[in-house]
Amino acid sequence: MVNVLVWYENRPLPEAAEKEKNVYPQGIHGALAELFGAETDLNVRAAVMQDPRQGLSDESLAWADVLVYFSHKHWREIAEDRVDAMHKRVLEGMGLVLLHSAHASRIFARLMGTRTQSLRWRENDEWQRVWTVMPGHPIARGLEKEYFVIPQDETYGEYFEIPQPDDLVFLTTAQGGEVLRSGCCWYRGQGRVFYFASGHETYPVYYQKEVRTVLLNAVRWAAAGSRTGWPVWARETEPPQQV
């Protein structure tokens, strides 16, 4: 059994709050917790920024084998000591799955050492084509075609200021022509980090079959950084050897 902590800041912008509620009545954290909670090998808790210690207490992080992290607009309001605590847990082996606007989160920038908030973006209700560029990776397991299409999502595009991924699993092309390294893996200390760009809060992206497959695979891959009880396919990708 693997412990998954799903975290969301839960503070939608006023102009998007009603639409987000219509798409995700229980919040994004509720939808993701329901997805992971349906799996017999995953034990799930959900937390939000309004909880004590911003939902990221030392006890919660110590409990978690994987932290699934979605944030939007309020990235800089996470306290320094909570960033320190997350960083420490990743280096100790906790997996971290960052979703969509969490590219601008303080923890992602800390782990990457770059200005991860820097990318192109626009919101035009356009389709996104997510290409699998590393089909042998465990996170791509179960995807039947070389790409899948998300009918509507916020558009992100390069240049995306991140270090070269250790594994680039997905590349997204947009209706307007943008390209983004959209499914990226890194190894930090004993921990595994995966960033997945799809999933603006006003679109039902996290209900799409292919996206749900990616998220389930990502949690299992990230958890394998500090656990040995996973099936072989979840542990196939090993971190680069230190020289």
pLDDT tens-digit map of 207-216: 999 999 999 9
Mean pLDDT for the stretch of residues 157-179: 96
Cis peptide before 159 (omega within 30 of 0): yes
User: Cα torsion at 185, 188, 190, 196 (round to 10°)?
Assistant: -30
Mean pLDDT taken over the chain: 91
Helix axes 209-223, 27-37, angle to 10 degrees: 70
Q: What is the rounded distance in angstroms from the CA atom of residue 83 to the CA atom of residue 162?
A: 18
Identify the structural domains of the chain with CATH numbers, from first to last: 2-114+183-235 (3.40.50.880)
pLDDT value of position 228: 46
What are the tens digits of pLDDT across the range 101-129? 999 999 999 999 999 988 998 988 999 99
Q: Taking the model in full, what pTM does it have?
A: 0.92
Mean pLDDT for the stretch of residues 19-29: 91
Mean pLDDT for the stretch of residues 77-95: 96
What are the tens digits of pLDDT across the range 143-165? 999 999 999 999 999 999 999 99
Which residues, at least 6 apart from 5, have a Cβ–Cβ distance to it below 8 Å?
44, 45, 46, 47, 60, 61, 63, 64, 66, 67, 68
pLDDT value of position 225: 72
Percentage with pLDDT > 70 across the chain: 92
Q: Judge whether residue 234 has pLDDT over 70.
A: no
Mean pLDDT for the stretch of residues 5-11: 91
| Residue 235 binned pLDDT confidence (cut-offs 50, 70, 90) | low
